[in-house]
Amino acid sequence: MEPQTATPTNQDDITPESLTHLKDAHQAFVDFLKQNSRSTSTILAYGKDIEQLMEYALNMHQIEHVHLITPDHLNDYKQELHSQKYTAKSISRKINSIKSFFRYLKNHGHINSNPADHVTHPKYENKSPRILSKTEYRALRDACRDDIRTSAIVEVLLQTGIRIGELANLTIENVKKDHLVVEAYESQPSREVPLNKTARTAIDQWLKDRPANAKTKQARD
């Protein structure tokens, strides 16, 4: 693909407010997501997606300002992602980021028309989450059975289905007799997660072993 120097299709669409440099627009969008309490993972993913688009616009079309990006550029970019073997699902996620980015720019007066309005998502099939087989389940448990802490972590994840980030934020106070209290985290509300006998036993074994580990660490320090 030969580099092209982009020119706006309609000079009347350009206002002083729309002359926003790619880097400035990118940073303003990330700040906007933070101010609106979007999750850390969302901010990171959207930020990276837009950064990737900015690099494409600059390197392939010598575009330095967001008002110069057209629907044709975005559709070409979609094709470029496809040629780089991105899955349809990954491309669709990036398009979500791009649509949110240009919607933000339009709503805040940086551009007069939204080039992402008519960019379509590729079709893909939503597959159901794959569940571990009995063999995989046993192999995972066997792999960590000699480490009580790791074993407890794996067992809680397997038995409760909570997120890794939620498990990482758990404290002793969050562990109740028959449930876990998962504290509110970013956009996720607080909730209670039931503990079955297997998960409860794994936690109890770790809690029983934990004071010995703490004393050992204190002695080494």
Q: pTM for the complete prediction? A: 0.62
Contacts of 2 (CB under 8 A, 6+ apart): none
> In the predicted model, is pLDDT for residue 133 greater than 60?
yes
Question: Domain of 200: which CATH number?
Answer: 1.10.443.10
Do 82 and 140 lie in one domain? The reply is no
Which of 111-115, 142-146, 173-177, 215-219 bottoms out in mean pLDDT, i.e. has the lowest?
215-219
Q: Is residue 188 part of a domain?
A: yes
Do 144 and 79 lie in one domain? The reply is no
Q: 157-166: per-residue pLDDT in tens?
A: 989 988 888 8
CA atoms of 124 and 16, how far apart (whole Å): 40
Q: Given 107, 124, 156, which residue is the final one in a domain?
A: 107
pLDDT for the residue 14: 41
Count CB-CB contacts under 10 A for residue 48. Answer: 12
Among candidate residues 96, 80, 117, 110, the one with its CA nearest the CA of residue 46: 96
> In the predicted model, is pLDDT for residue 195 greater than 70?
yes
Number of alpha carbons in the 13 Å side-chain half-sphere of residue 31: 7
- 88, 122 in Cβ contact below 8 A? yes
CA atoms of 46 and 29, how far apart (whole Å): 9
Q: 99-129: per-residue pLDDT in tens?
A: 999 999 999 989 989 999 989 999 877 777 7
Question: What is the residue range of 37's domain?
Answer: 14-107
